[in-house]
Structure 1
Amino acid sequence: MVVGVAGYYGFRNAGDEAILEAIARELKARGHQVLALSGDPKRTREEHGIRAAHRLNPLALLRADLWLLGGGGLLQDATSRLSLLYYLSVLRLARAFHKRVVVFNQSLGPLSPWGERQVGQALKGVLVVLRDQDSLDYAKRLGIPAELGADPALLLTPPPVKREEELVLIIPRAGVGPEGVRTLYVTANHLFHEGRQVLVLLLQPGYDDEVLENLPHHRVEKTSDPRRVLYLAAQAGYVISMRLHGLVLAAAAGTPFAALSYDPKVAAFAKEAGAYYQELPGDPIKLSKAAMYGRYPDWEKVAALKERAKRSFDLALGEASPIKRPHGRG
């Protein structure tokens, strides 16, 4: 079967590319062909070894039997209304072409009242798999039936690499105001003076570069390659991240992590993983102590998230009954 994947792919964002890499690997392992809608089809074909078409080519939707919308944080209008309308139009057009569509391992929100109405209308009759309990609760409040999955990037396998316990990855994000970057700057300085090696890692080169003027004097690496991020996460002794997929790839690598949350999806993942997190603007001393004294996530909860991610493919492909929801909150 040809399975199409639609998301924020081809824009040199390591988090979204990690999602695509994980989805492509899992689908190919199950004997399916993969077609991705991408902002840069040539790059996507070369980097992931799959078929790709431009995301603005509506006829590409005819070339797959099943479309997975996601994963990622596509069902929100905090970025822009245009973004939400684009993804809902992909969903509607695929259905108009009589293709099966699954909203796949997405988070839900933030949404304005307008966005809630748009999403509620578009998702009627669609299988919806959400990647965190907070999103599932939100969907329930909106009257949207949904199942619980998890971020596909949790299924990526880390490379064999020697862990350097003194290495701490600091992963900032641009566009969220100076307070969070300031917190990471003080955290990085404190860790450095305590004898830790600090590496500032940018997961969206170009977009995230503006934070560097507020994070001077530390080693910096920029990459949109999820394989490189996973390697560094596996090598590090600890990860402190504002970006969701800094946390997800640390979890995939078995590396302890803490979050500085700028968005509900970051806090949602940290809570479900039993990891330490702070809301912006954050406390740099407590963040640095989390790294120095090994404040770990709950690895049993991380394992459960990986199992949820695995089973979500069974559900999307029609190979399993709906995923059982846990009692209470994850």
Structure 2
Amino acid sequence: MRAVLCGYYGMGNGGDEALLASLLQMLPPGVTPVVLSGNPTLTQRQYGVEAKPRKALATLLALRQGDAFIWGGGSLMQDATSWLNPYYYGGLMVLAQTLGRKTVAWAQGVGPLTRPWSRALARYGYRHCHGVSVRDAASAQQLAQWQVPVWMAPDPVWALESKPVEGLWDLPAPRVAVAVRSHRWFTPARLEQFAKALADFQQATRTCILLVPFHPAQDLAIATAIQQHLVGPNHLFQLSDPRQLKGLFRGVEMTIAMRLHGLIMAAAAGSRCFALNYDPKVGQLMVDLDLPGWQLSPNAPNAIGDPWPPTPTDMCQIWLKHYANGDPPSADQIQSRVDRALIHQDLLQEILG
């Protein structure tokens, strides 16, 4: 069986690459993946799989030659970042269904969908899938309203295999990882405040700071700006292999992250986590794991997390308290989520096995 895998793959985003690596890890034996990628050469070299351009006639040819279409994972069907997302992903799903392929919506995060046509397209696509799995309760609730049966499980990256990172253990311990991204709510003033607070925190704790840009196109400039404020030991890691990204957090005492998969990888490795909540998916993880953190939205009264602190000193003191007294996820919490994340694998086995 040839299965066409469609997501935000080959675009340089470590979180989406982690979803792809998890999906490849969970495919049933006998299923040959064909990945739609923004960089087919890199995807083919990195994972040893066949890859096709994600925006070309090759995509249509791949669908015609395939037996199945897997949509996901992640927040593909949402129009918050661009109206093109549901148009592109929903269009491919409907095309695959029209061609009579087995279709799976895998490890989905549904919404927000603010436009009537995007909601209608999403509802049609999900209702005609052979199987659907989601990674959060809000997505399951939305699909239940559309009368779509779903499998719900934690994000599959919980179960992603990790790889060691060369040079990590040569850096001084203890180590603290930082994974932030550009966003309109993470303003230049807030970035300056954050960097000063992190420098003070490093001086107080004598930690080595690991800067981890998950999506260098968005994160590298911010990581470099923060690095310029640090006077203690630090290292900026640019890792293209998501299994190494996950392995990085095995050597980390505490993680401060905006990136959802930075928090998931850190929690899975037993690191203390502190979240910067810019998106509902981050807030949902904070609730699930009872994580401390701050909300970045300036006008979201129901957002998860405490208000953004007024000064670098306040920020530093909160981090110091969590570093000294905060609890990492327990072994039982971690194993429970790893085990339940394999439900996404069970779905693939039932539909494609």
TM-score bucket (shorter structure): 0.7 to 0.9
Change (3 A) 1:95 1:51: same
Q: In the superposition, relative to structure 1, how do residues 288 and 112 fare at CA in structure 2: closer, same or farther (>3 Å)?
A: farther
CA apart distance, 1:256: 2.9
**Does residue 240 of structure 1 match 2:275?**
no
Moved more, 123-132 or 156-165: 156-165
Q: Does 1:117 align with 2:129?
A: no
Could you list the runs of 5+ residues in structure 2 that have no partner in the other structure?
A: 297-306, 310-314
Q: TM-score, normalised by structure 2?
A: 0.82
Provide the residue aligned with 1:325 in structure 2.
none
Q: What is the alpha-carbon distance in structure 2 between the residues aligned to residue 255 and residue 238 of structure 1? A: 5
Contact 1:172 1:181 in 2 (8 A): no
Count of matched residue positions in the alignment of Structure 1 and Structure 2:
319
Question: Which stretch of the first structure deviates more once superposed, 154-163 or 89-98?
Answer: 154-163
Q: CA separation in 2, counterparts of 1:82 and 1:314?
A: 31
Aligned 8 A contact 2:289 2:329 in 1? yes
1:146 aligns with 2:162: no
Letter in 2 for 1:166: P
Distance 1:159 1:254, change over 3 A: farther
Distance in 2 between the 1:183 and 1:70 partners? 36
Q: Are the aligned partners of 2:156 and 2:341 in contact in 1 as well (CA < 8 Å)?
A: yes
Output the CA distance in 2 between the equivalents of 1:12 and 1:82: 19
Cα deviation digits, residues 88-122 of structure 1 (max 9, x gap): 01101111111111110011112204232331233
* Alpha-carbon distance change, 228 to 88 in structure 1, aligned in 2, over 3 angstroms: same
Structure 1 residue 191 corresponds to structure 2 residue 201: yes
Indicate the residue corresponding to 1:282 in structure 2.
Answer: 308
User: Structure 1 stretches of 5 or more lacking a match?
Assistant: 321-330
The answer on 1:174 being equivalent to 2:170 is no
Alignment of 1:1-330 (within 5 A): 1-27=1-27, 30-56=29-55, 57-114=59-116, 115-126=118-129, 127-159=131-163, 166-179=174-187, 181-182=191-192, 184-194=194-204, 195-212=206-223, 214-215=225-226, 216-218=228-230, 219=234, 220-280=236-296, 282-283=308-309, 284=315, 285-318=317-350
Provide, for residues 114-163 of structure 1, a one-character-per-residue CA deviation record: whole Å limited to 9, x for no partner. Answer: 23233123322322211112322233345443220222221123346869
Q: Aligned letter for 1:12? A: G
Q: Matched residues, percent identical?
A: 29
SS of 1:317's equivalent in the other structure is: helix
- Aligned equivalents of 2:332, 2:240: Cα separation in 1: 29
Give the stretch that moved more between structures: 160-169 or 98-107: 160-169
The AA in structure 2 aligned to 1:211 is I
Instruction: Name the aligned partner's letter for residue 132 of structure 1.
Output: D
**8 A contact 1:13–1:203 mirrored in 2:** yes
Structure ID, larger Rg: 2
Question: How far off its partner does 1:185 sit?
Answer: 2.2
**Given the superposition, is the C-alpha separation of residues 110 and 299 from structure 1 closer, same or farther in structure 2, using an over 3 Å criterion?**
farther
Return the structure number with greater strand share: 1
Q: Residue 328 of structure 1 aligns with which residue?
A: none
Deviation per CA, 1:153-212, whole angstroms, max 9, x where unpaired?
A: 211233468697510001101123334635642442232121222122111112223324
Bigger Cα displacement from structure 2, 236-245 vs 271-280: 271-280
